[in-house]
Amino acid sequence: MPLPYSTFSEHLDALAARQSGAAALIDQDQPISVANLRARSRALAAGLARLGVQPGHRVAVWLPNCAAWVESFLACAHLGALVLAVNTRFRALEVADILGRGRADWLVYWPGFKGIDFQGILDGVAPEDLARLQGAVALSGANELSPAAVHGKPVHRYDALLACADPAPAAQGNAGVLCFTTSGTTSKPKFVLHDQKTLLRHGAMVARAFGYGDDACVLASAPFCGAFGFATLVGGLARGVPVVCAPVFDAAQSAQAAARHAVTHTYANNEALVGMMQAAAPGAFSRAQLFGFASFTPALDNLLDLAGEAGVPLTGLYGSSELIALVAGQPRDPAEGDVSARHQPGGTLIYPDARVRARDPETGQILPHGQSGEIEIRSPSLMRGYLDNPEATRAALTDDGYFKTGDLGYTLTGRQFVFQTRMGDSLRLSGFLVNPVEIEQVVETLPGVRACQVVGATRQGRIVPYAFVLLHAGAQADAVGWTAACKAAMAGFKAPAGFTVLEAFPSVESANSVKIQKHRLREMADAILSDCAS
């Protein structure tokens, strides 16, 4: 779809001229108009420019869903800087990787948010990972003190930058503006780079495909730092309809916000939607036009029942960091595809010229509709590439421009498909795709642990990581200490739900190697967690 604007600054200018008083965001129940969002993001751009932020600089934004996240993104887009999106649940190991390998020049963060010891986490980052960092910007309340420095680098107050009297520099043109982090087939996350024009166009297509009218109001249920949450945000920004956000997702509060602000659309993992519907008062979703879900947990049947009782129309979704989330949604209209697949993950690609196919992973042959293989997608929403990693970029694409998703599924048409599972052993934890190698490498640094294998297991309807370990001679198990160490090193949702010591991992010899039988470990973990619950 042709767009009149290729940058967020151009789009925001036009939106402010057309509907300056309309709400662009509703942040903790406080509406922020288009004009106000524009003014604050430009003031912030001026303040950042005074600090020395330049086109091409990399700015790590370590904030929750709030107006400051959006303002920081828009300010960086105006300046031609690249945002490295950082999850607030990340800890020292993950933050160090993003700041160091992502070569961050600047950091924007909220030291007092949610009781998280941001300063302590930063203190745990090795100095070499901050070698390129020029300074940080701290979001603080009026009566809160900001840290003076991070590893000797100056920390500036966010509100002081907003008060900068300088005019904002001239807007930069289209360029790479946002990096999501994603786990690939190695232990290190990749940095998925998207440019402004692609993101804006995708937002416009999301709004069109999911039916945003003038009365639309979108609830942000996922973090803006990930592709799922950002696609929710950019769809609202592109269409000029309000996006409701809060720094912390709470099911009951989200249900109340949906009623209070007449929310029409939201997108979440099915566990989050179940929580919202269970907590909602009667009629809370009376304005709902479409709720989309990604099936990350086994609670689907319960979700369908609850949605039926609440009168909420549901549809399955699909997306990725490389293609941006909401790139596909199962159709509600037979003209758009097979509606019998509506409550399965996957969907019809939202771009008319996008295409999907399934490839046999063993033979390399393209499969007919209905046969399962690796899903490959060609879409205008495709990333620019993996930041600083041209080899990985080339490996992710076919010669004719399809992205190799690494997902197992089958096609229904050239634009519609059903997602089944990951081709490999990656885990969906709290809505995030996590490579178990990341967890295994941390566990293998713990006292007494010689080797580790992590699998996904089901506990109370949720997928959680579970660790099987081999010990050094004479070592003793210390599940309590290991759990505490993992939670200190990684986001809490990555910490194993339990540890079991084995004499050896179950394995089978193939023609080329000895392969660990992860399916047997998953069965063992499910049985252990089931016994614990009974």
Are 350 and 466 found together in one domain? no
- Supply the pLDDT for residue 31: 98
Does 485 map to a domain? Answer: yes
Are 152 and 55 found together in one domain? yes
Of 404, 424, 444, the one marking the end of a domain is 424
Q: Give the three-state DSSP class for 130.
A: helix
Residue 186 CA to residue 172 CA, distance in Å, equals 35
Torsion of CA 378, 355, 316, 461, to 10 degrees: -50
pLDDT tens for each residue of 73-114 = 999 999 999 999 999 888 888 899 999 999 999 999 999 887
Are 404 and 509 found together in one domain? no
- Supply the pLDDT for residue 519: 84
- Supply the pLDDT for residue 175: 97
- Supply the pLDDT for residue 534: 64
- Supply the pLDDT for residue 2: 53
Are 59 and 164 found together in one domain? yes
Q: What is the CATH number of the domain that holds 174?
A: 3.40.50.980
- Supply the pLDDT for residue 421: 72
Does 164 map to a domain? Answer: yes
Are 489 and 470 found together in one domain? yes
Are 173 and 40 found together in one domain? yes
- Supply the pLDDT for residue 298: 45
- Supply the pLDDT for residue 146: 82
User: For the chain, which residues score pLDDT lower than 70?
Assistant: 1-3, 142, 183-187, 296-301, 424-426, 433, 508-515, 533-534
Are 461 and 419 found together in one domain? no
Are 371 and 470 found together in one domain? no
Q: What is the CATH number of the domain that holds 518?
A: 3.30.300.30
What predicted TM-score, i.e. pTM, was given to this entire model?
Answer: 0.86
> In terms of C-beta density within 10 A (0-12 exposed, 13-18 middle, 19 or more buried), how is residue 338 classed?
middle
Are 15 and 145 found together in one domain? yes
pLDDT tens for each residue of 26-37 = 999 999 999 999
Structure token pair of residue 169:
């520099």
Domain count, the chain: 3
Q: What is the CATH number of the domain that holds 392?
A: 2.30.38.10
Are 399 and 504 found together in one domain? no
Of 407, 424, 441, the one marking the end of a domain is 424
In terms of residue numbers, what domain contains 138? Answer: 8-22+31-190
DSSP string, 13-66: HHHHHHHTTSEEEEETTEEEEHHHHHHHHHHHHHHHHHHT--TT-EEEEE--SS
Of 190, 224, 251, the one marking the end of a domain is 190
Are 376 and 465 found together in one domain? no
Does 325 map to a domain? Answer: no
- Supply the pLDDT for residue 451: 93
Are 357 and 488 found together in one domain? no
- Residue matched to tokens 């999850």: 87
- Supply the pLDDT for residue 299: 42
- Supply the pLDDT for residue 4: 76
Tell me if 52 sits within 8 A of 79, measured CB to CB: no
